[in-house]
Amino acid sequence: MPTLFVIFGGASFGSIFSANKIAYESGLPYFSYIFWQIFFGSIILLSISIATKSAPKFNWKNIRVFAFVAVLGLISPILVFNVIADKLPPGVVTLSVALIPASTYIISVLIKADRLRVVSIMGVVVGFGSVLLIVIPGNSLPIDGAEIWVVFLLLVPVACGINNAFSGLLRPADAQTFGLAAGTMIVASLILLPVCFVHSRLYIFIDYGWEAIGSTIWAAVVWVIVYICFYEVIKRTSGLFYAQINYVIVAAGLVWSWIIYADILSAWIWAAVVFLFLSLFLINVGARRTN
């Protein structure tokens, strides 16, 4: 089940890059687009949690989880990616995402949430190698004069690694997945609202046409799926296992681009997909040995 959640969540999130492209072409401002998708995602999750009698409980124990995951796992990467969007090539950004499983593993070992396992190390290395097969053949990674932004970009794997490593420890044992996911998205929406006004103001997405409406709803559904998968995976296994979703996201983003925009996928990409599934297999074996 955890493997299926990782594959399904990663495949779903991989499509959000295509939704982002459509939203950008509609002219909808970036932070307003982000706010509306998170806000509608929170409404969907809140409705599901109420229907399943697992509505989020806003006590201190749960609020710290909501805020922790919202800030480190969602808002921090969004802000960093926005800052470096025009400062670094896409290949370097992709590599930062590929570093998340490695950073998660290192942090998990340091806080004794996991232990050194040869099989897991092999899985992380193979997964990172799958992303290299995608990035290196098509990009020369031209980063001359942008070293400071590369260092800044490393905040993404560090923040997400901390989020993945600690979330399993912080997750209340008696809390339900739908309630946790809904609470996280609600808190993220509340944090993003003032960010929109600080950056410029909150723009109404329906004013930008059907492309903006469709991409916003599309992205909202993706976030719903991702956070349900996140809380289910860390309940069943660990943050390290969930971190493998980043490899799936990289590959799935290219496949979605092939489906929607008819982009041509090279033999390198298909080879990367094979290595990706090998990585998931090795991490799965390592997790079973731990259990």
The count of structural domains within the chain is 1
CB of 119 closer than 8 Å to CB of 282:
yes
The single residue listed with the structure tokens 């969540």 is: 9
Instruction: Read off the pLDDT of residues 50-60 as tens digits, 9 standing for 90 and up.
Output: 999 988 888 88
Enter the tokens of residue 17.
């890059």
The rounded distance, in Å, linking the Cα atoms of 191 and 212 is: 22
pLDDT band, very low/low/confident/very high, at 211 (cuts 50, 70, 90):
confident
Enter the tokens of residue 142.
């031209």
What is the arithmetic mean of pLDDT over 198-217? Answer: 85
pLDDT at 113 > cutoff 80:
no
Instruction: Read off the pLDDT of residues 146-192 as tens digits, 9 standing for 90 and up.
Output: 567 767 777 888 898 898 888 878 888 778 889 999 999 999 999 99
Q: What is the pTM of this model?
A: 0.79
Report in angstroms the alpha-carbon separations of 120 from 100, 114, 197, 240, 273. Answer: 14, 10, 44, 9, 18
The rounded distance, in Å, linking the Cα atoms of 291 and 286 is: 9
Look at residues 219, 227, 250, 243 and name the one whose alpha carbon lies nearest to residue 93. 250
Q: Which domain holds residue 233?
A: 2-290
Within a 10 A sphere around the Cβ of 123, how many other Cβ atoms? 27
CB of 43 closer than 8 Å to CB of 189:
no
The rounded distance, in Å, linking the Cα atoms of 87 and 83 is: 8
